[in-house]
Structure 1
């Protein structure tokens, strides 16, 4: 099918992302980065912004997780794009490793709040391609470094070519992480200087002149870059020998050395040098990003979550009565203190009941609805410290004996993350060891639908990263929209959202320092503040729930985030 003219006539902003969380059945996402992209797309549809989103089709998904006695077992997680998208009549060629790789696209029309935006999912599983190339877009974050390089070339170069072939008139390209930085490199070659057009002096004749043959300012005027990764090892790097071998026919590799670094190509540095606007994703992350990349201007636009995507229907009904336009204008939820206590408690009870029913059906474990449920769900990797709660089992069990509570956890480890898999194994073993004294379950195959249950049905949302390694974090924002307060280390978005004892509780120092003391602080907050309040003072607990909604929902929505991008990045002069 052709792309509808209605999209071509109005779309001016393209958002490129390696993953995007559109719905649970479409497995082209792995976690927070993809869910953020999906929430931004929903806001773009609802607010009527002229955007198109580009990602990979990822037919085999990311990871289908099962939990056995020894922890995570993973396999492919396939889905059928034809069930949710339409194939477009377009093919573009990418010279890759001496071969021509053809790239097609699927169109998913994302509808939200009466609006819609196009989402293009790039696909190399085409009969025109060699067998080794047909699987390039199959598995999200799969394969070795060469496979990753090829995937990012499909996203960046292929995405730019597809948009042009479909006749989109894009004025701004938003690169979601360094994965998409090859788009800027592709644009660079479309903007030669007068010297280049005239067939001027060669790179070999004048070393260091490669970049001067291109109008980088024109590319910067078109590109916006969001960096999410606060860990140096998390920024993709590729050897120039591999780049020359794989993409030497598609890109001017000598020029990229001057934009992406001399030793190896750093995709974040490439994006920084070829983008006119760069932002980190929380105020704290701005400091970290500027320290990692000194000399660059890096602004801050704190992440947000889509209001109606994450609010439980029972809570949403209360919001409808309170402020009918809250979905489009979540700032109106500042009136949450007007919610009736009994109505809010009953609505949360419905959400909690659905979570407990899912726990029983999935694990066979029965939770007590009268006891508080502490929820923890995120990517399972070392710095997230999913096991911090279990640092001192004697202390933890003493607290549970005095103030009974229950714990539900979920999250996937990358197939190559041995530390993350071992962490899951320890938690699963812990659930058996603690049985009878502390109810603990680990739910398998964390996805969008499970996340919706967890952020609405938990009573407390726990977050325990090692600062400053949490760039932003959005799960706590989703919980906040449902009136679920956070108990969190001071890092990422919680540096902005925490009003201690009002919107939740902080673990440790206000500046996030002294991570060695976080376990002791976590136990103290549970024993002295969180659990006694829940079991003994429902009125105070409901005030915290209302303040969590009223003070955090207006700040941390994807509507606010997208409006910030419009004013700071898309409309910049």
Structure 2
């Protein structure tokens, strides 16, 4: 083992995230941020890296989604038995919230690969000795008001560091904040540093000592998407928070605690999650050096069984070296297509059984599954509906599979679901449309492997990275997407998929007013009508060639193993 590898693998990294997806039966995630966290921890376990995950336990989950006959989303608590999946740990730690002492316990989940385990600790305040309000902090992910969220983030950041110490993690080489929700951990590290050197007031040397320990990954390319709390509320909830003195600007942003700025100011390494996202982040936060590490997906977690069998047959050591997936370029096209048809049949059987849709395996099937919110533009493919109907009549039948939750407070997102639901009567018989409820890990695995095309059309530049298209690619499903997030790096036109709208050079010069839903919709329709669907219906061998290229080119690079090793080289070592 060389010197670098030996030293890198012996380092201990604490990975903090407001949500972590480790099992579809454990509802501690809402979407991409949590799934990425789970894939990161899986990658760490796969390469034998010493990492520990920290998140919150949500006894009622994010929410269980039901959609009624009018397309109205209903949110229900998720019912799950915590100790069926997690193991309670002995230590208890306490933090101060307002004038109360809050006790925290931890539950353990182990991410295992080969002989290596990465522990993940879920923090819980639902204890009899706590105030009734504090017991609810282990209730809902992204629920409640500002006070509730700030209390939760204090439990995660401050309580998380305290819990790691109580569990015996005395030496941690890096604290990685996956988005700003956990950035209060820097306060606890600062308190530890000051106690170690006997300082009553924080010095610049203390700040630098904390900064040397911290790594921050930002995911949100929109200023309004970053958590911030009024200082009045902060002083009420966290009376020890340093809002005065010469270091005030390290902790405060004007009259607010901005969790992103706190993480930016107290991290020695900062990155965005795609090259384009880092460029946008540097414009948002112009005084900070923000690197790029493009996201990746944990291939074994997202690979469908039929494609895995092909890997086992033609690339027998692929699990040990994910980059060897590039050799998928030699897998016979006929076998790629047959494997895809198995996945497609599994998906359509599920859809037909659940929704009585009568979807046909021979018909071109498009998938769109992600958070239902305005900037994702879920309705773009229906703009105008007459054009979509005409394409289905002239080129061939179209099947559309939608899924995704709208945040309970996102009224426009909920209306989008209703409008999609209401479109069905206006579709010609050649188009079938279904909206699947309760999008989760299990449903995502069905959809990304079983559709013929993955559609993604957010309004640029608001897609930080996006990983659903990567999951589709590893299963041989090409993307049709705007050039934003990871797709700028992953799109080889006509080889790994297709782009919508502006090219890379136009995007660099584009201003806010240059983006047009109508223009992007026309570009989407043109690609479907003149390029993609004719290949699918008239030249399936050519379509299978594109599918194979998705696997070999994008699957071999946009994976969590590559992503994780970049973190080791740039941030952890």
- Alignment TM-score, normalising by the size of structure 2: 0.94
CA positional deviation for 1:161: 0.5
Secondary structure, counterpart of 1:186 in structure 2? helix
The verdict on how the C-alpha distance between 1:444 and 1:466 changes in structure 2, with shifts beyond 3 A counting, is same
The verdict on how the C-alpha distance between 1:193 and 1:133 changes in structure 2, with shifts beyond 3 A counting, is closer
RMSD: 1.6
- Tell me whether 1:316 sits opposite 2:290 in the alignment: no
Give yes or no for contact 2:10–2:49 (8 Å, CA) kept in 1: no
Matched with 1:230 is: 221
Partner Cα separation in structure 1 for residue 287 and residue 242 of structure 2? 25
**In structure 2, which of residues 375, 393, 400 is the aligned counterpart of residue 383 of structure 1?**
375
Give yes or no for contact 2:194–2:202 (8 Å, CA) kept in 1: no
Give yes or no for contact 1:256–1:270 (8 Å, CA) kept in 2: no
Partner Cα separation in structure 2 for residue 235 and residue 432 of structure 1? 39
Instruction: Output one character per residue of 1:473-510: Cα deviation in whole Å (capped at 9) or x when no partner.
Output: 00000000001000000100000000001100000121
Matched with 1:6 is: none
Partner Cα separation in structure 1 for residue 221 and residue 440 of structure 2? 24
Partner Cα separation in structure 2 for residue 66 and residue 327 of structure 1? 38
Give yes or no for contact 2:398–2:430 (8 Å, CA) kept in 1: no
- Tell me whether 1:462 sits opposite 2:455 in the alignment: yes
Instruction: Output one character per residue of 1:371-423: Cα deviation in whole Å (capped at 9) or x when no partner.
Output: 11100000000000000000111111000111221110100000000000000
Which structure 2 segments of 5+ residues have no match? 1-8
Partner Cα separation in structure 2 for residue 369 and residue 260 of structure 1? 56
The verdict on how the C-alpha distance between 1:519 and 1:315 changes in structure 2, with shifts beyond 3 A counting, is same
Instruction: Output one character per residue of 1:264-313: Cα deviation in whole Å (capped at 9) or x when no partner.
Output: 11110000000000000000001110000001010000000000111100
Matched with 2:441 is: 448
Matched with 2:232 is: 241
Partner Cα separation in structure 2 for residue 333 and residue 448 of structure 1? 23
Give yes or no for contact 2:368–2:402 (8 Å, CA) kept in 1: yes
Give yes or no for contact 2:29–2:141 (8 Å, CA) kept in 1: yes
CA positional deviation for 1:211: 5.3
Instruction: Output one character per residue of 1:135-173: Cα deviation in whole Å (capped at 9) or x when no partner.
Output: 102110000010000000000000010001111121100
Matched with 1:93 is: 94
**In structure 2, which of residues 392, 404, 407 is the aligned counterpart of residue 400 of structure 1?**
392
Instruction: Output one character per residue of 1:349-381: Cα deviation in whole Å (capped at 9) or x when no partner.
Output: 110011001101221111110011100000000
Give yes or no for contact 1:192–1:214 (8 Å, CA) kept in 2: no
Which structure 1 segments of 5+ residues have no match? 1-8, 200-209
Partner Cα separation in structure 1 for residue 435 and residue 256 of structure 2? 40
Partner Cα separation in structure 2 for residue 136 and residue 193 of structure 1? 29
Give yes or no for contact 1:136–1:151 (8 Å, CA) kept in 2: yes
Give yes or no for contact 2:328–2:551 (8 Å, CA) kept in 1: yes
Please list, as runs of the form range in 1=range in 2, the aligned pairs for 1:271-290 lying within 5 A after superposition. 271-290=263-282
Secondary structure, counterpart of 1:369 in structure 2? coil
Instruction: Output one character per residue of 1:42-91: Cα deviation in whole Å (capped at 9) or x when no partner.
Output: 11111110000000011110011111133211111232220111000011
Give yes or no for contact 1:104–1:124 (8 Å, CA) kept in 2: yes
Matched with 2:490 is: 497
Partner Cα separation in structure 2 for residue 112 and residue 188 of structure 1? 34
Give yes or no for contact 1:193–1:212 (8 Å, CA) kept in 2: no
**In structure 1, which of residues 336, 342, 355 is the aligned counterpart of residue 347 of structure 2?**
355
The verdict on how the C-alpha distance between 1:240 and 1:321 changes in structure 2, with shifts beyond 3 A counting, is same
**In structure 1, which of residues 307, 318, 342 is the aligned counterpart of residue 299 of structure 2?**
307
Partner Cα separation in structure 2 for residue 269 and residue 109 of structure 1? 32
Partner Cα separation in structure 1 for residue 120 and residue 185 of structure 2? 17
Partner Cα separation in structure 2 for residue 363 and residue 97 of structure 1? 49
* Larger deviation, residues 469-478 vs 11-20: 11-20
Please list, as runs of the form range in 1=range in 2, the aligned pairs for 1:38-437 lying within 5 A after superposition. 38-71=38-71, 72-168=73-169, 169-192=171-194, 197=198, 199=200, 212=203, 215-249=206-240, 251-254=241-244, 255=247, 257-403=249-395, 404-434=397-427, 436-437=429-430
Give yes or no for contact 1:470–1:492 (8 Å, CA) kept in 2: yes
The verdict on how the C-alpha distance between 1:114 and 1:320 changes in structure 2, with shifts beyond 3 A counting, is farther
- Alignment TM-score, normalising by the size of structure 1: 0.94
Partner Cα separation in structure 2 for residue 357 and residue 431 of structure 1? 20
Partner Cα separation in structure 2 for residue 549 and residue 113 of structure 1? 24
Secondary structure, counterpart of 1:333 in structure 2? helix
Give yes or no for contact 1:192–1:213 (8 Å, CA) kept in 2: no
Secondary structure, counterpart of 1:173 in structure 2? strand
* Larger deviation, residues 251-260 vs 533-542: 251-260
- Tell me whether 1:507 sits opposite 2:500 in the alignment: yes
Secondary structure, counterpart of 2:177 in structure 1? strand
Give yes or no for contact 2:190–2:202 (8 Å, CA) kept in 1: no
